[in-house]
Amino acid sequence: MKCKKIYVSGHRNPDVDSLTSACALADLRRHTMGGEVVVEALCPGNLPAKAEWVFNHFGITPPIQKNDVYIKVIDIVATDIVPLSADIPLIEALRKLEASGESSLPVISRTGKYLGDLQPLKLLHFFIEGKDLQTPVGEVPLGETLVLNSSDRVHDVKGHAIRSSQNHFSVLDESGQFCGTVLKRSFAEKPPYRMILVDHNETDQGILGLEELPVIEVVDHHRISFSPTIEPIRYTADIVGSTCTLVTKMYRASGLRPSKQIAGVLLAGVVADTLLFQSPTTTETDRIAAAWLEKICGETAQSLMDGMMSIPSPMMSMTPEAALESDRKLYTESGFKFSLSQIEESNFLYFHHQLHAFEDSLSELINRKGLDFAGLLITDPVRGDSEFLYKGEEGVKRSLPWRRNANGTFSLPGVLSRKKQLLPQVLSALSSLR
C-alpha cells in the first residue's frame, strides 16, 4: 500500500528529549522528503509538565498525543470497488456487476447505509418466479457477506477474512454506514504508515502497535536492542548525551538551518537530557550542538534549564503511582522482566516522606505487569546524586552493588543516568546470578 503517513515517536512515558527530538526530526524529514508524505510527531502517553513548558515557551504545537499505532480496518480501505446505489434497476446493476469482474458488489441506500451484496446466485429464486428486471436493486434478495467494522484492528480480522472466499469486504462504521471496501490482497500488503523511532530502539519501550509498522529510521543514544529488519533502514546512533544532539548534527549535515523555534526545542532537549552538561553522558558533541542552537534560537542553555527547573517535579505534583509512570522503562534481560523508573527531585526529603507509598506502588506495579522486580531512581540533578528504591526478587536485591541506607534505599553517589550508570550495574548483577 502507498505510504500515507510517517510517524515519528519517542519512547512511552516520553521525556523532554524524546518529545523535542521527535518534533524536530519530523520537521527535518518534512524538508528532506518533500511534501508528498505527511510526517507526524507523536507523544505516546501524557505530555510531561516540563515538555509542555518547552513547547509553550517556543510557541510550537507539541507532538500529538496517541496511545497506539495499531492498524485499523479504516486505514486500509480502498475505493477500487464502486458500490451500487439501491435505486437503480436490477438489470443495470447486473451490467455493472458484469463489467466490474467481481462476483458480488455492495448495495447502499440513498443515505449511505449498507444493505447487502448483489450476488447472482441469490437471485435464482427471484428469476424463477419471473420477476421484473426493472425492480430497483435495493428491493431484490441480497447476499449476506462478511463485513468488517471500520474500528476493528486489522490484526484481529485478518485471519478470518483471508480464509473466506470473498475478494473484498464492505467496511461499515458503528451506525452501519458504508465506508468503502477492503480488498483481500490488502492484507498481504505493507500498511500505509511508516515509523521513525527517536530516543529508543526497543519495541518494549515504544508506542503500542509499533510491531505492526515498518520502521524506516532510528535516531538514538541508547544501547541497541533492535530487531533485524527486512529492508535496509537509516540508523543513527552515537554515544552522546541527548538524541537532540544527533538531530542537530543531522540538520547541519543536510545544510538546513532549523527555525528559531525548532532550534529552541532542540536546545531544551540537550539541556534536559544532559542536566545542563552535568550528566556523565555529556560529550563535547553535545556542547558544540548546544552552542550552535543557542545562536539560532537566541536563548542560553542556562535560561532553558532555569525555566524547566521552575516546573514542579512529578514527586511534588503527582501521586506515587503517576510519578512512577512519568518516566518508566521496561526491560527483559537474562530471564528477568523488570521496570526502572526515574524521577528528578532536588529535595530527597519529599521522597523520604513518601517512601512507603512508593514501596506499595512498586509492589502494585510488579503484580500488575507480572514483573520480577521494579526500581525507582530518584536523581538530584543539582547535586548530582541518586537514591534507588528496589522491590521484588530478593536474590537480585542482594547482588546489587550499592550501599544500603537505614531507610532501605540504596545510595548511588555521582549517579545521574539510568542508561549509562544504573542499567549496566543492574544488568551485571543479573548476569552474575546465572
Binding site for Mn ion (CB under 5 A): 17, 199, 243, 273
Q: Which residue is nearest to Mn ion (CB)?
A: 17
Cα distance between residue 16 and residue 158, in whole Å: 37
Nearer to Mn ion, 142 or 195 (CB): 195
Paired sense of beta strands 148-149 and 168-172, if any:
parallel
Q: How far is the CB of 103 from Mn ion (least distance, A)?
A: 54
Q: Output 75 or 220, the one with its CB closest to Mn ion.
A: 220
* Alpha carbons 162 and 164: distance in angstroms, whole number: 6
CB of 288 to Mn ion, least distance (A): 17
CB of 420 to Mn ion, least distance (A): 11
- What is the spatial distance between Cα 302 and Cα 318, in angstroms, rounded to a whole number? 26
Instruction: Give 273 or 387: the residue with its C-beta nearer to Mn ion.
Output: 273
Count of beta carbons in the 10 Å neighbourhood of residue 2: 8
Distance CA 314, CA 345 (A): 8
Nearer to Mn ion, 245 or 261 (CB): 245
The residue (of 391 and 418) whose beta carbon lies closer to Mn ion is 418
Closest alpha carbon to 398 in 373, 424, 367: 373
Cα distances (Å, whole numbers) of residue 404 to 6, 28, 178, 390:
47, 47, 64, 11
Provide CB contacts within 8 A for 154, sequence distance 6+.
Answer: 70, 71, 72, 73, 75, 76, 187, 191, 212
Q: Which is nearer to Mn ion, 170 or 281 (CB)?
A: 281
State the Cα–Cα distance between residues 429 and 17, nearest whole angstrom: 28
Nearer to Mn ion, 22 or 84 (CB): 22
Nearer to Mn ion, 17 or 27 (CB): 17
Cβ contacts of 291 within 8 Å, gap of 6 or more: none
CB of 241 to Mn ion, least distance (A): 8
To the nearest whole angstrom, how small is the minimum distance from the Cβ of residue 240 to Mn ion? Answer: 9
Task: Give the Cα separation of 83 and 172 in Å (integer).
Answer: 13
Nearest distance from residue 243's CB to Mn ion, in Å? 5
Residue 361 CA to residue 323 CA, distance in Å, equals 10
Separation of alpha carbons 231 and 314, rounded Å: 41
Q: Which residue lies nearer to Mn ion by CB, 17 or 117?
A: 17
* Nearest distance in Å: CB 16, Mn ion: 9
Three-state DSSP class for 311? coil
CA distance 434 to 429: 9
Q: Long-range contacts of range 219-224, CB-CB < 8 Å, 24 or more positions apart? A: 219/21, 219/25, 219/243, 219/246, 219/247, 219/250, 220/246, 221/245, 221/246, 221/281, 221/419, 222/419, 223/419, 223/423
Minimum distance from CB of 269 to Mn ion (Å)? 7
Closest distance of CB 114 from Mn ion, Å: 48
Compare residues 199 and 325 and give the one whose CB is closer to Mn ion: 199
Q: How far apart are CA 390 and CA 375, in angstroms?
A: 5
Minimum CB–partner distance for residue 342 and Mn ion (Å): 11
